[in-house]
């Protein structure tokens, strides 16, 4: 079996950038992605804060980065392969898992870069699981067109929630944003936009209690945290954006994770396990942006290159 210099797990912005830097360093590199490249960027419509690229569709941004990856002869990419475990033996890492058709796969490398990203958190509300796909959604870009001229509720007050509320307002008749505090967490520019959009209404100091309906979502029960008063809000859809959980289950027992299961690294993106580096949203970090994920991908690739040359592996 071929032994690559580096295997990168995850082809979001962090993993793709790591691949560009590994490829340019002439390291033989395999990039393994569980679905299609792009990661969470695929869940958003537009990107307007990536330096050097003026307001573009997320698809266009990923296509450009992919072109840069595909231009490098030392990088191979495999999609729709989910990694389930990693073994360390004879100075090599063996990455194992299953492809979409259920077939097992295995690849070996001298160093590893984990860029496995994160996925939207669930709230655990009564009715949330039952109505998922029947009105409950975690992706406005995927599902907003189903709610044309309908009323939707959105839960969350961060950048993702407000970005998605603005997107949903292009389709829905009314978007009611439920947030648990009296102030949004989202950046000022997004707050200005939401407040000037007449289709969007804020329901502050409130939490969702239960999602109700017969076959599909019909209403949501909401509790005001200051008065404890409960009300029912009619809606056809409930969009939930309350943060993310890292995709690190396959690393339990191999790497040090924090209490929220994010990977702990130093500034060079090195984990405590020699030869394993991590970057992007699977890593414990204070600020989660496409640009910071890309920067970390570049640093992880540089650190992996140094590890390979210094350790002569
Ligand atoms: P986030 O910043 O962690 O915000 C999560 C939101 O959900 C917060 O408003 C939080 O309320 C709320 N929340 C969490 N748990 C909850 C619960 N159990 N019940 C009710 N509400 C709950 O997550 P995010 O918005 O997904 O953003 C993640 C990162 O990506 C951030 O660093 C963000 O800046 C970045 N991002 C940036 C952009 C952009 O630049 N355009 C776009 C998307 C994401 P509290 O505020 O009360 O904690």
Q: What pLDDT, in 10s, does the model give residues 123-137? A: 999 999 999 989 999
Instruction: Report the distance separating Cα 267 and Cα 299, nearest Å.
Output: 9
Residues 230, 260 within the same domain: no
Point out the domain boundary residue: 184, 213, 240.
240
Q: Please indicate whether residue 107, judged by its CB atom, sits closer than 6 Å to ligand 1.
A: no
pLDDT of residue 305: 98
**Quick one: CA dihedral 230, 235, 236, 240, positive or negative?**
negative
pLDDT of residue 179: 98
Q: Please indicate whether residue 242, judged by its CB atom, sits closer than 6 Å to ligand 1.
A: yes
Q: What pLDDT, in 10s, does the model give residues 59-98? A: 999 999 999 999 999 999 999 999 999 999 888 999 999 9
Residues 11, 153 within the same domain: no
From the candidates 85, 139, 151, 205, which is the catalytic residue?
A: 139
Q: Please indicate whether residue 158, judged by its CB atom, sits closer than 6 Å to ligand 1.
A: yes
Q: Domain containing 136 — which CATH number? A: 3.50.50.60
Q: How far is the CA of 305 from the centre of ligand 1 (A)?
A: 34
Residues 301, 230 within the same domain: no
Residues 68, 142 within the same domain: no
Residue nearest to atom 41 of ligand 1 (CA): 159
Q: How far is the CA of 241 from the centre of ligand 1 (A)?
A: 7
Domain with 33 in it:
3-119+244-310
Residues 226, 283 within the same domain: no
Residues 113, 131 within the same domain: no
Residue 235 has pLDDT above 90, yes or no: yes
Residues 113, 154 within the same domain: no
Residues 139, 199 within the same domain: yes
pLDDT of residue 46: 84
Residues 157, 210 within the same domain: yes
Q: Is 235 a catalytic residue?
A: no
Residue 142 has pLDDT above 90, yes or no: no
Point out the domain boundary residue: 240, 267, 283.
240
Residue 172 has pLDDT above 80, yes or no: yes
Residues 108, 248 within the same domain: yes
From the candidates 63, 71, 142, 182, which is the catalytic residue?
A: 142
pLDDT of residue 42: 87
Residues 108, 251 within the same domain: yes
What is the chain's mean pLDDT, rounded?
A: 95
Q: Is 294 a catalytic residue?
A: no
Q: Provide the whole-model pTM.
A: 0.85
Pocket test for ligand 1, best of 39, 41, 242, 282 (most atoms within 8 A of CB): 242
CB atoms within 10 A of CB 88: 14
Residues 64, 211 within the same domain: no
Q: How far is the CA of 219 from the centre of ligand 1 (A)?
A: 24
pLDDT of residue 279: 98
pLDDT of residue 1: 92
Residue 312 has pLDDT above 80, yes or no: no
- Number of domains within the chain: 2
Point out the domain boundary residue: 240, 259, 277.
240
pLDDT of residue 48: 87
pLDDT of residue 286: 85
| 244 CA closest ligand 1 atom index | 26
């Amino acid at each position: 079996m071929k032994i690559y210099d580096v295997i990168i797990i995850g082809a979001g912005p962090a993993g793709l950038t790591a691949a560009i830097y590994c490829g340019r360093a002439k390291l033989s590199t395999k990039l393994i992605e569980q679905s299609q490249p792009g990661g969470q960027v695929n869940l958003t419509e537009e990107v307007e804060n990536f330096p050097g690229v003026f307001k573009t569709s997320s698809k266009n941004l990923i296509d450009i980065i992919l072109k840069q990856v595909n231009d490098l002869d030392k990088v191979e990419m495999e999609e729709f392969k989910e990694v389930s475990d990693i073994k360390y033996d004879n100075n090599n890492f063996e990455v194992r898992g299953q492809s979409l058709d259920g077939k097992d796969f295995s690849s070996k490398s001298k160093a590893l870069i984990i860029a496995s990203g994160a996925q939207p958190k669930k709230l655990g509300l009564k009715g949330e699981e039952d109505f998922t796909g029947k009105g409950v959604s975690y992706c406005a870009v995927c599902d907003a067109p189903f709610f044309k001229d309908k009323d939707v509720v959105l839960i969350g007050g961060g950048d993702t929630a407000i970005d998605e509320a603005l997107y949903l307002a292009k389709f829905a008749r009314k978007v009611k944003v439920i947030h648990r505090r009296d102030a949004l967490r989202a950046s000022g520019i997004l707050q200005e936009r939401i407040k000037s959009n007449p289709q969007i209404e804020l329901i502050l100091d409130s939490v969702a209690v239960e999602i109700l309906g017969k076959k599909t979502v019909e209403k949501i029960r909401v509790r005001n945290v200051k008065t404890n008063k409960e009300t029912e809000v009619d809606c056809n859809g409930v969009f939930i954006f309350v943060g993310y959980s890292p995709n690190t289950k396959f690393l339990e027992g191999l790497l040090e994770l924090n209490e929220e299961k994010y990977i702990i690294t130093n500034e060079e993106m090195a984990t405590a396990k020699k030869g394993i580096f991590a970057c992007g949203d699977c890593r414990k970090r204070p600020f989660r942006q496409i640009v910071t994920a890309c920067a970390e991908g570049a640093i992880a690739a540089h650190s992996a290159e140094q590890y390979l040359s210094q350790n002569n592996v």
